[in-house]
Structure formats: structure tokens, C-alpha cells
Amino acid sequence: MIFTVAIDGPAAAGKGTIARAIARELGFAHLDTGLLYRAVGLRELEGLDPVAAARELDPEGLEDPRLRQADVAQAASRVAAIPEVRAALLDFQKGFARRDGGAVLDGRDIGTVICPEAEAKLFVTASDEARAGRRFRELAAAGHDVSYEGTLAEVRARDARDSARDAAPLRAAGDAVVIDTSDLGIEEAVGAALAVVRERLGAR
């Protein structure tokens, strides 16, 4: 069975949590495409050429805990604006999306560029403050030395860059269902997303 769930949206809106829950519930494979750009960003911080790093990337080796760091997120957002970096990561993502057994991908351009033919498209968003608050608590709980104001500025800078770039900018596909998670708990947000996906599954 080929069935793709495309989940896009700004940083820390809850895409990852929703994507993992849908994949678990339906037995689909999940790909956090942000990790691909974070892995390239990390190599760039280490002094490598980002285009070469993207071409050499092993998509199976995305376990490094440093990929979660705020400086790596910013580097990811920078290298993600380079068309050759995006091109190098395209085939892997397209193949993953159409693999047999169903796939959930979350990122910025899944419903618009990677898989415009996705059977279910969601655009998950939330207010800047709600997103920064969640990301701040996540990072602080993991022992990172961060402030709420710094996290808010980081999230806004990343969204501005991700939205303004020419290459596959962050935007909702015309046929995406928008879910605003500002005032939703995790269970409510997952429930709303699952309802959309189940409805599309049933319509086939």
C-alpha cells in the first residue's frame, strides 16, 4: 500500500510529536526530514562544505544527540537555503514517501515539493510564544543552558529564514488541512491529525 502523510509547519509546532503518533498508530514508517538538514548543518559547523556533506550523508545515521542543539538548528536552517543541498536530499525523501506500507514525513516542504501527491497533508502551526515555550521547556529539561527570550528569538529567526528563502520555502500546500496547536494538548492535537488521516484512508 502506498499512502503518504505529509506534515509541514514552522519550528516547534508539534509536527514531530504528531508524526510519530500517526506512524505508531497506523504502523507507517516515519522520517523527520529536519534531521537530514541538521546533520548537514552539524558538518558545516565542523568546517565541511555543506553541499559535499549533503551528497555524502548517510540518512540511516541520524542518531547524534548534538543534532538537537540550538546552534545546529540555526546551521540547518542556513544550509537548507542552498538549492544544491536540497537537491542532494531529494531522492531519498521522495523514495521514503512512496515506500510500500505507508509513510509519514514531517518538515517544511513535504506537501509542496517532496510529495505533492501525498494522500493526506497537514500544516501544523501555533503562535510564536506557544512554540518557543515548548521548545524552551524541552531544551531546559534536557539540560541545555537556554532562556525563554533566547529561544523565542531563535524560533522567529529560523521561521523568517525558512519562509523567505527561494528554494522550497516554508508554506502550506493549497490542499493541506491547517491544525493550530496553540491551545491544544498533545492528545487533542494528535486526535485532530489522526481524524484527518483516517478520513483520507477511508476515502480510498
Give the shortest CB-61-to-ligand DC separation in angstroms.
Answer: 16
Smallest gap from residue 110 Cβ to ligand DC (A): 6
User: For residue 78, what is its C-alpha cell?
Assistant: 542556513
In the complex, least distance from residue 204 CB atom to ligand DC, rounded to whole angstroms: 25
- Nearest Cα to Cα of residue 154 among 142, 165, 162, 143: 162
Beta strands across the sheet bearing 103-107: 29-32, 103-107, 4-8, 120-125, 177-180
Looking at the Cβ atoms of 34 and 50, the one nearer to ligand DC is: 34
Query: For residue 65, what is the enclosing H or E element?
Result: none
Using alpha carbons only, give the angle 202, 114, 68 rounded to the nearest 5 degrees: 100
**Residue 146 to residues 43, 76, 138, Cα–Cα distance (Å):** 23, 19, 10
Q: What is the DSSP string of 113-141?
A: II-TT-SEEEEEE--HHHHHHHHHHHHHH
Query: One symbol per residue from 45 to 64: x for binding ligand DC (CB under 6 A), - otherwise; what is it?
Result: --------------------
Per-residue x/- track, 147-166, ligand DC (CB under 6 A): -----------x---x----
* Closer Cβ to ligand DC, 61 or 202, answer by number: 61
The residue from 4, 77, 112, 151 that contacts ligand DC (CB under 6 A) is: 77
Q: Is 10 in the site for ligand DC (CB under 6 A)?
A: no
Nearest to 131 by CA among 172, 182, 178, 177: 182
Grid coordinates belonging to 192: 485532530
Among 14, 30, 34, 96, the residue binding ligand DC under the rule CB under 6 A is 34
Pattern 100-129, binding to ligand DC, x per CB under 6 A?
A: -------xxx--------------------
Comparison of 175 and 199: residue with beta carbon closer to ligand DC: 175
Residues that bind ligand DC (CB under 6 A): 11, 33-34, 37-38, 73, 76-77, 80, 107-109, 158, 162
